[in-house]
Structure 1
């Protein structure tokens, strides 16, 4: 017999049979799920029911059936206890009805119906006598009539918020009651419509457009909202001419790329108030005014060109500086260890496998490319000569690769420290990740294109902010 050594004397270890082990496992399993079987929950329901705690009994029977829907006793218990709870709810409805508390009566009956429906999900039918439905129908009609009249009175005094509260409640009870949909629409949309008109009167056309848009989303035929939305958009549109980018950097032929990224970014905004002057039309005007596309256009000249295009604003950009640093690939010889197995004899004379490590070398490769761009952007309002945006945008991008190559079995490669193998999981995982690391380095041209795109996104974001 197995023995457990316990100081200062030995005691026999308890023998556990297979039956006991199964029992312990079962008990532990029940503990893990809360010891709540369908049968135990049914017993809880019976106890609650015996104590007159019918609501608690209903919950216990429902939980029992959730675990085993075929539990007949739980279903019978739910029917009995559920009917008691339902009867209490109907008594509450009767009480409110006799006191002429219409709202309380309506919601009391709805609560009874909801309870009946909830119990029905468990295959149990409860009974509501027909006369309750007849009484409820009349009370509901009276209550909705009262709400309807109150809503109309609030509309008459233009208290739209209070009117909406009444019509919303009617819609929740009976969405087909009289013309409540139309009246609810009026209560919701009329204050918005008036707000939009106030924005129009104040010359805040973009704010008006947004309100009209929300009105049209709910009801596209509400008064003249659709037509006024179009007017607000037209009045709020900002026509902008993008001047040729001036390049003061030592990198040639980049202006067209930056302009292309900028225009794409501005178009991507899908801002309804932004209209960009066609570039061909702009070029023709610049040529007519004897300005060279590759030359420098002053602010005064840009304003003149902008006015000729019919623009309200001009966007002037200047590349201040671009620096690109192309990295040099490096290859370092690194010390490491490769594991292998040997067969040795143990103290008992039996053969066993032991891990050994032999020194090896592997190669670590690194490289890095980076670019820096400094760009000055200025947005001018032609009518007021106001500088709407003026900012120097700087972006620095880089890409770096760092990987390892080993001619042996990479799955047995370990890093080295102090002439010993590092076998910790973190050290090994770090080395293995370098073996699997990418080797393709983003080129200078790719990084420059990314920087142009970021410059374009930054500028378009500033323009978008202005047009809000």
Structure 2
């Protein structure tokens, strides 16, 4: 029963002469038997996920070995957390529709998990079963209904809209200069000189910020014991802002600064014609002007909460 040694030797035999004797059958035994025995031990210890992993290797490579196909199905059934999702409750006055959206997105994200051990029971089907079985359900508690529907866990949640701030578009007048260059030649030397002059102008700076915050407090509880399997408080803060400048003129020549009077010079006048200040102003002129709507931010928050909730449940492993 030196299965690993046998596997190495039989693999070499198969490489040298693939059809030699019953090499293929013995190779199958040498690979499968250790996995199968360990899977049986895992099953006895109620470590069904580990048993499934071993049996899945056997089935994928050899289709079947002994009763590994049926045993894999049994391990999967026992390891799978079937989840019945109850209606998420709003805890703030403006969260009723948001709670429904969060619930739907959480279900969608759970269904999209690449996890054979997490399964959401279809709501429509279970609702029909509930209607048919209402006569036999006396208390009507969620846990008893969960048992009735063969759900191993119930997922419940409370949704709160903590903050919603739709900012106003603020418009601020800014004073600057247009940098104008002209070239002249020295009549004596013939040298070309660049003369720089500044003309006073007005440009505008706009800024706006939208933000919101949504939270989900959820709990995944066992229908058999009522014990909490997974719980968390997940908050998603979403925000977007714009900060840009506009100028009705040759923006590439615009220079930041300040002036008191447009038609007269003043000691308070300042021209910030340096590389850093000019670059910052040019970035404002080219900055984005469209801000994410409140609907977009809400969709992002719901998506974020649902994704993190599904990940949390996906990480749950009762065998660890």
Q: What TM-score bracket applies, with the shorter chain setting the length?
A: 0.7 to 0.9
Matched-pair contact (CA < 8 Å) for 2:169–2:208: yes
1:210 equivalenced with 2:62 (yes/no): no
Q: In 2, distance between residues paired with 1:445 and 1:205? A: 44
Q: Which residue of 1 aligns with 2:20?
A: 178
Q: Which residue of 1 aligns with 2:272?
A: 421
- Give the SS at the match of 2:305: helix
Q: In 1, distance between residues paired with 2:142 and 2:168? A: 43
- How far off is 1:182 after superposition? 5.3
Matched-pair contact (CA < 8 Å) for 1:402–1:434: yes
For residues 252-267 of structure 1, the aligned pairs below 5 Å read: 252-267=96-111
- How far off is 1:399 after superposition? 1.0
Higher relative contact order (CA 8 A, sep 6+): 2
Q: In 2, distance between residues paired with 1:334 and 1:287? A: 71
- How far off is 1:185 after superposition? 4.7
Q: In 2, distance between residues paired with 1:373 and 1:323? A: 7
Deviations for 1:343-393, whole angstroms, at most 9, x for unmatched residues? 223472434444444333321111111111222111110111211122222
Gaps of 5+ in 2: 259-268
Matched-pair contact (CA < 8 Å) for 1:378–1:391: yes
More strand per residue: 2
Gaps of 5+ in 1: 1-157, 291-297
Deviations for 1:73-108, whole angstroms, at most 9, x for unmatched residues? xxxxxxxxxxxxxxxxxxxxxxxxxxxxxxxxxxxx
1:227 equivalenced with 2:77 (yes/no): no
CA-based RMSD: 3.1
Q: Which residue of 1 aligns with 2:283?
A: 433
The structure with the larger Rg is 1
Q: Which residue of 2 aligns with 1:20?
A: none
- Give the SS at the match of 1:254: helix
Q: TM-score, normalised by structure 1?
A: 0.57
Deviations for 1:38-60, whole angstroms, at most 9, x for unmatched residues? xxxxxxxxxxxxxxxxxxxxxxx
Q: In 1, distance between residues paired with 2:27 and 2:182? A: 86
More helix per residue: 1
Q: Which residue of 1 aligns with 2:177?
A: 337
Matched-pair contact (CA < 8 Å) for 2:35–2:58: yes
Matched-pair contact (CA < 8 Å) for 1:286–1:305: no
Judging changes above 3 Å, is the alpha-carbon distance between structure 1 residues 256 and 344 closer, same or farther for their aligned structure 2 residues?
same
Q: Which residue of 2 aligns with 1:402?
A: 243
Q: In 2, distance between residues paired with 1:331 and 1:200? A: 69
Q: In 2, distance between residues paired with 1:428 and 1:340? A: 14
Q: In 2, distance between residues paired with 1:398 and 1:286? A: 43
Q: Which residue of 1 aligns with 2:262?
A: none
